[in-house]
Amino acid sequence: MKKHHILKDARWIIDLGAAPGGWSQIAARVTDSTNESIRVAAIDFLEMDAIPGVRFLQMDFLDDDAPAKLLEALGGAPDIVMSDMAAPTTGHQRTDHLRTMHLCEVAAHFAIDVLAEGGHFLAKTFQGGTERELLNLLKHNFRQVVHMKPGASRAESVEMFILAKGFKGRKSSVADSEPG
């Protein structure tokens, strides 16, 4: 991920599926987030130890009020939304793929709804053939979309990351642009 420089100018970060907290620690460090000036909001339904500079919400991101609570915790539009969410595995590869892809799609829609223009979205996904719709959504809303396989990932693992760089911004609807 270092070669993509997505953290270089990050000021506000949301971490979805944050436990055990590794990404949140890095996010707090690169944004100079402190408990007095929070710049990182994180969420997971699992417990996570407190991290200085990170406001953590222990709740399911799929809860209806989770997105609003995350934005409130951060206090502004994020430059980066990163998601390490994955559904608990069942051992049935197709089911596991579909469940994790659903989380990835929900995270992508959230990112498109909240990111600051020029922001980035990074998400864990599993290879398995249902990524086309997600990739089309991301390519429509971001300047560049790339797949990455982490160096620490085993060769036989289906785990991948999708990085969408350079959010183009939300399109205003015709009703928004007409004088009232």
As a whole number of angstroms, the distance between CA 148 and CA 152 comes to: 12
Whether the Cβ atoms of residue 46 and residue 67 lie closer than 8 Å to each other: no
Compute how many other C-beta atoms are within 10 angstroms of the C-beta atom of residue 97.
Answer: 20
One-letter amino acid at 30 equals V
Candidates 124, 165, 168, 171; catalytic one: 124
CA of 153: how far to CAs of 58, 89, 148, 161, in Å? 27, 17, 10, 11
Residue 126, beta-bridge partner list: 159
One-letter amino acid at 166 equals G
One-letter amino acid at 1 equals M
- CA–chain centroid gap for 90, Å, is 23
Q: Specify whether 124 is catalytic.
A: yes
Q: What is the set of active-site residues?
A: 124
